[in-house]
């Protein structure tokens, strides 16, 4: 039998798995609310950008969704916090893409053992600076799960841009 709390957490865990990251509950709640309206369809990735700040990226339809969350202390004596968020929904249809591929050798690997890392620089309408994916703060992509998650996001972005 499933407990009410397990039922409540199931959609949140689905969002967390889709982003490939374990976010603290308040940040995950906020991102999940955005993801209900803008479903994570083609890959996602989330990172910690500061002490209590997080950024999530995902593809929904033909758009790149970027949501920044921040935990803000209200009352240090009571230990109360609130979570704020802001985000962008950017069309990928007319994106200009620069692709860079780097070959990195694994530590203590043979000379033919390469790990490839792709980087996309997206020039998006209404955005003065290109957006770099994966986010430089998520580097190094030092485990297979993280690499797979980032590669799924990059594949989803490239697929939408190619259909443009």
- pLDDT: is 132 or 126 the higher one? 132
Residue 44 CB-density burial (10 A; 0-12 exposed, 13-18 middle, 19+ buried) = buried
Query: Is 51 or 111 the better-scoring residue by pLDDT?
Result: 51
**How does pLDDT run across 37-67, given as a tens digit for each residue?**
999 997 899 999 998 899 999 999 999 999 9
pLDDT value for 159: 93
**What pLDDT was estimated at residue 112?**
59
Average confidence score pLDDT of the chain: 83
* Plot region of 107 (φ>0 → left; ψ -120 to 50 → alpha; else → beta): beta
Stated pTM of the model: 0.81
Identify the DSSP state of 106: P
Alpha carbons 110 and 107: distance in angstroms, whole number: 9
Given a cut of 90, is residue 35 above it in pLDDT? yes
Cα 96 from Cα 20, distance rounded (Å)? 26
Task: Give the mean model confidence (pLDDT) for residues 134-156.
Answer: 83
CA distances from 66 to 54, 90, 91, 148 (A): 10, 8, 11, 19
Task: State the Cα–Cα distance between residues 42 and 61, nearest whole angstrom.
Answer: 8
pLDDT of 141 strictly over 80 = no
The mean pLDDT value for 132-144 works out to 81
For residue 7, the model assigns a pLDDT of 44
Higher per-residue confidence, 15 vs 102: 15
């Amino acid at each position: 039998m499933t407990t009410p709390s397990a039922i409540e957490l199931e959609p949140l865990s689905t969002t967390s798995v889709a982003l490939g990251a374990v976010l603290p509950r308040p940040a995950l709640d906020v991102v999940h609310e955005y993801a209900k309206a803008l479903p994570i369809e083609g890959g996602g990735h989330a990172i910690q950008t500061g002490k209590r700040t997080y950024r999530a990226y995902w593809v929904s339809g033909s758009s790149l969704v970027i949501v920044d969350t921040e935990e803000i202390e209200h009352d240090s004596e009571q230990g109360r916090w609130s979570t704020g968020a802001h985000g962008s929904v950017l069309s990928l249809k007319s994106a200009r893409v620069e692709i860079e591929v780097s070959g990195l050798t694994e530590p203590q690997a043979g000379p033919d053992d390469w790990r490839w890392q792709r980087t996309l620089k997206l020039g998006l309408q209404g955005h003065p600076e290109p957006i770099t994916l994966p986010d430089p703060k998520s580097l190094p992509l030092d485990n297979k799960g993280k690499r797979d998650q980032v590669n799924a996001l990059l594949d989803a972005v490239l697929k939408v841009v190619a259909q443009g």
